[in-house]
Structure 1
Amino acid sequence: MHSETRSYRTGGRETVRDLTADCAGFVDGRGDGLLHVFVPHATAGLAIIETGAGSDDDLLAALGDLLPADDRWRHRHGSPGHGRSHVMPALVPPYATVPVLGGRLALGTWQSVCLVDLNVDNAEREVRFSFLGDGAGAGQERGER
């Protein structure tokens, strides 16, 4: 297994950030296996969706409808509606797993791996990439674990 943690700045607004290029770079040449992506935060998640055609904005709109940023939440510190960010990972989990074949992500044509963050109070996010594989890829040749 090989793991790496990367930091991302999500800014002070709700966002869907495409991580697919970083995922692809991480698994490049590693052989067959699984990429597991994990966000160690209580207020962020990962989604595999289409991006660039409005689906990312649609996801944020749907989450806004399901989890409004108002004063209904019992978890009340931070910005108004912050409690909804703590509920979101039940709908958009903090993990995703993608098959890797020949060192390439086996995603569908329109699928992207995206970080989803509704928490405007925390602009820095960490994402852990882990490759679990057969050991036939370039990572093993370099002596990585």
Structure 2
Amino acid sequence: MQQSQTRFTISTQGQALYEFTREVADWISDTGIETGLLTLFCRHTSASLLINENAAPAVKRDLLRWLSKAAPEGDTYEHDDEGPDDMPAHIRTMLTGASLSIPVADGRMVLGTWQGIYLAEHRAMPHRREIVAHLLGERVSEV
């Protein structure tokens, strides 16, 4: 069994979905691990990770609109230390999650045709978000 770990830093410009599938795929390729399990973990409480469609831009807009309705900004929250988007960001993170597990086969993530990996930024202000990636698996031995 082999392991590899890295960190991805994603600079955000406010509430949006930021795809970073290609960066993860390139790193996996560099590890030489062909079969295993990838874990991605977001080290923040107001940003999250998700897998969703990466072909139709309307999907991202609809997801963001739904999240804003599910956890709207406003003055109804006790926790508002960093402004009106503070507590809604925590709720949106709770709804979408801080980690992902993705199988790896033949040196590539086993994602569906239209699936991409996204960082969901739930805050209005720009941030630098850190994602920890851990890959556990095996290299195919050469004959």
Identify whether the pair has TM-score above 0.5, normalized to the shorter chain.
yes
> C-alpha displacement at 1:30, in angstroms?
1.7
Aligned to 1:131, which of 129, 132, 135?
Answer: 135
SS state at 1:128 partner: strand
Q: Which residue of 1 aligns with 2:37?
A: 34
What's the TM-score, normalizing by structure 1?
A: 0.87
- Higher strand proportion (structure 1 or 2): 2
% identity of equivalent residues? 28
The match for 2:8 is 6
TM-score by length of 2: 0.88
Give the conservation status (yes or no) of the 8 Å contact 1:33–1:133: yes
Which whole-Å deviations, capped at 9, do the CAs of 1:100-129 have from their partners, x for residues lacking one?
Answer: 101111100111111001112451100111
Aligned to 2:22: 21
Equivalent residue for 1:51, pick from 46, 51, 54: 54
Q: Given that residues 33 and 100 in structure 1 are in contact (C-alpha distance below 8 angstroms), is that contact kept between their aligned partners in structure 2?
A: yes
Between Structure 1 and Structure 2, how many residues are aligned?
Answer: 136
Matched, 1:99 2:100: no
Which of 66, 73, 76 is 1:69 aligned to? 73
The letter of the residue matching 1:128 is V
Aligned with 1:91: secondary structure? helix
List, as ranges, runs of 4+ consecutive aligned residues in structure 1 with deviation greater than 3 Å: none
Q: 1:109 aligns with which of 110, 113, 118?
A: 113
